[in-house]
């Protein structure tokens, strides 16, 4: 009895499964792209509406009559802020501060105390979100005490 037909069937089935999986992945990529485009459009519309409101308030001399906190809030809404490209930026800011520099360091214990995230969570952020944004972080493990292990920024996006 020859195994060749059986092997060919398995190869064909595997190839078909791989094609189906790739089609699913492509559909997910397209859905993610549409979601990102929709969110960008919504953001642009919010900015436009807020800037029109600010202009109208200034034109009708009502801008000075509202409180400073409201002025600041409306100004922030009306200002297009570029995305930093750092997802989970709040975690990054908690670890390295608002103005990180190459060479900034944080120990694993400090990282946990600041973010309540464990090593695996931080490592996942480094590999996925921060690496995509161009941030390179080096991890140096302490041989005696893991809590003294260090995360160090070695490169930031230009």
Residue spans of the domains in the chain: they are 4-78, 89-155
> Which of these ranges, 78-92, 118-132, 134-148, has the smallest mean pLDDT?
78-92
Q: Are 102 and 153 in contact (CB under 8 A)?
A: yes
User: 12 by DSSP, 3-state: which?
Assistant: helix
pLDDT for the residue numbered 120: 93
Alpha-carbon dihedral 80, 85, 86, 88, rounded to 10 degrees:
60
pLDDT tens digits, one per residue of 13-38: 998 999 999 999 999 989 888 998 89
Which of the 8 DSSP states describes residue 107?
Answer: E
Say if residue 85's pLDDT is above 50: no
Q: Are 114 and 94 in contact (CB under 8 A)?
A: yes
Give the count of alpha carbons within 13 A of 150, CB side only: 8
Q: Is the dihedral of CA 40, 43, 45, 51 positive or negative?
A: negative
Give the count of alpha carbons within 13 A of 137, CB side only: 29
pLDDT tens digits, one per residue of 89-111: 578 888 988 888 999 999 999 99
């Amino acid at each position: 009895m020859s195994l060749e037909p059986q092997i060919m069937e398995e190869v064909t089935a595997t190839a078909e499964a791989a094609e189906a999986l790739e089609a699913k992945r492509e559909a997910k990529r397209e859905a993610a792209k549409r979601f990102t485009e929709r969110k960008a459009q919504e953001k642009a519309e919010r900015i436009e509406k807020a800037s029109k409101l600010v202009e109208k308030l200034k034109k009708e001399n009502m801008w000075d009559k509202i409180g400073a906190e409201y002025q600041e809030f409306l100004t922030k809404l009306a200002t297009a802020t570029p995305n930093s490209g750092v997802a989970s930026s709040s975690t990054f800011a908690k670890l390295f501060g608002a103005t990180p520099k190459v060479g900034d360091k944080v120990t694993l214990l400090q990282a946990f105390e600041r973010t309540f995230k464990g090593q695996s969570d931080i490592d996942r952020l480094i590999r996925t979100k921060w690496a995509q944004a161009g941030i390179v972080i080096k991890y140096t493990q302490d041989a005696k005490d893991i809590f003294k292990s260090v995360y160090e920024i070695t490169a930031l996006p230009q």
